[in-house]
Amino acid sequence: MTTQTAPVTVTITGAGGQIGYALLFRIAAGGMLGPDRPVRLRLLEIPQGMRAAEGAALELQDCAFPLLHGVEVTDSAAVAFDGANIAMLVGSRPRGPGMERGDLLAANAGIFAPQGAAIAEAAADDIRVVVVGNPANTNALIAAASADGVPSDRFSALTRLDHNRAVGQLAGFLEVGPGEIADVIIWGNHSATQFPDVAHGILADRRPILDALAERLGGAEAARMWLDEVFIPRVAKRGAEIIEVRGSSSVASAANAAIEHVRDERLGTRRGSTSAAVVSRGEYGVPEGLVCSFPVVSRGDGAGYRIIEGLTFDAAARARFDASVAELVAERDAVRELGVL
Ligand SMILES: NC(=O)c1ccc[n+]([C@@H]2O[C@H](COP(=O)([O-])OP(=O)(O)OC[C@H]3O[C@@H](n4cnc5c(N)ncnc54)[C@H](O)[C@@H]3O)[C@@H](O)[C@H]2O)c1
């Protein structure tokens, strides 16, 4: 295929890891930015991860993807983010045995603050950043706060995997295709406190998902119980379920979600809204500056995700959302105590 358009530079941190390996080949094949858009890949790793990233770069070369206009592997953030249009921050410090939340946040602040600063220093003017590495919301907050001069709305964190998990559960239960389900929402933190909300969700024939659940379960009360006792915990704890069954954390589904997050942000959401953790400007009473998951749409015009406002909650839903926001506030305050913000 011949293309005339300018290549987009995509920087992936933690590129030698599992999610990195699942991301690189789809991006290089055009699965994220479309079949006409050439890409340049920059793979950032720490020294211990360099060989794995270099090996992936060799394999990328062996795929001879027509859209791939070069791969660079580096352990220098300044080199990795130089001219970057899109940054996918995947590499982070996992929680080790006996590690408290404060230790985890401190270790990740040591990664995401310098990366935010390097993005401010070196990235292209149109840079957009998605944080995948956990704790993703607060890592995005740290990176945004450290990127002097870069508008904070360029930073987001991944809750698309949670969104897709919610859609997958509903599709399975209602025996419809996932593509028929729209306007499901993940509110809050990418953690077990998240609130997967179907109150505004609809099916392809515009029937409310709540009505379809009530029909299947024999009434609205039974539907509410299923949501509270089965659906919400299943979605919120799906990561742990995958680890238990697979013996390893979610990889391909996480990479798929990261690709869909960037694709929709850049090229536009298709039918209805999706979920992404973006910087709050006070929407729905969420304290300004927190990186919180909301229902979002993108027109694909370069302006990124826009939060859908004006949706209503019942008391139980509001309490669930507030609990997740409280966790985000506690994480932000713990980071402030470290002197990072
Ligand atoms: N938000 C989500 O939905 C979601 C879903 C799944 C996984 N995750 C998170 O994604 C992250 C990556 O998962 P994985 O399975 O690929 O892990 P992994 O351990 O296989 O890979 C992580 C890679 O990051 C590298 N790395 C560590 N610190 C780095 C730094 N400062 N700069 C550059 N690279 C660095 C490591 O060397 C490693 O190669 C984890 O934090 C995981 O919890 C998030």
Helix (H, G, I), strand (E, B) or coil at 291: strand
Q: Which residues line ligand 1 (CB under 6 A)?
A: 13-14, 16-20, 44-46, 48-49, 90-92, 94, 111, 132-134, 136, 158, 161, 190, 249-251, 254
- Closest by CA to 8, choosing from 27, 26, 22, 24, is 27
CA angle 92, 97, 98 (to 5 degrees): 110
Angle between helices 136-146 and 315-337 (to 10 degrees): 50
Task: Read off the DSSP letter of residue 276.
Answer: E
Mutation test of ligand 1: which of 12, 46, 160 has the most ligand atoms closer than 8 Å to its C-beta?
A: 46
**b/e per residue, 295-309, with b = 16+ CB within 10 A?**
bbbbeeeeebbbbbe
Ligand 1 atom 41, closest CA: 133
What is the chain's pLDDT, residue by residue, as a tens digit (341 residues)? 444 589 999 999 999 999 999 999 999 999 999 999 999 999 999 999 999 999 999 999 999 999 999 999 999 999 999 999 999 999 999 888 888 888 899 999 999 999 999 999 999 999 999 999 999 999 999 999 999 999 999 999 999 999 999 999 999 999 999 999 999 999 999 999 999 999 999 999 999 999 999 999 999 999 999 999 999 999 999 999 999 999 999 999 999 999 999 999 999 998 899 999 999 999 999 999 999 999 999 999 999 999 999 999 999 999 999 999 999 999 999 999 988 88
Atom of ligand 1 at shortest range from CA of 44: 33
CB 102 within 8 A of CB 26: no
190 is catalytic: yes
Q: Look up residue 43 and give its two tokens.
A: 């793979």
Angle separating helix axes 101-122 and 136-146, nearest 10 degrees: 40
From ligand 1's centre to the CA of 14, what distance in Å? 6
Ligand 1 centroid–CA 122 distance in Å is 22
By most ligand atoms within 8 Å of CB, the mutation choice from 12, 51, 90 for ligand 1 is 90
Contact call for residues 128 and 11 (beta carbons, < 8 A)? no
- Say if CB 331 and CB 133 are below 8 A apart: no
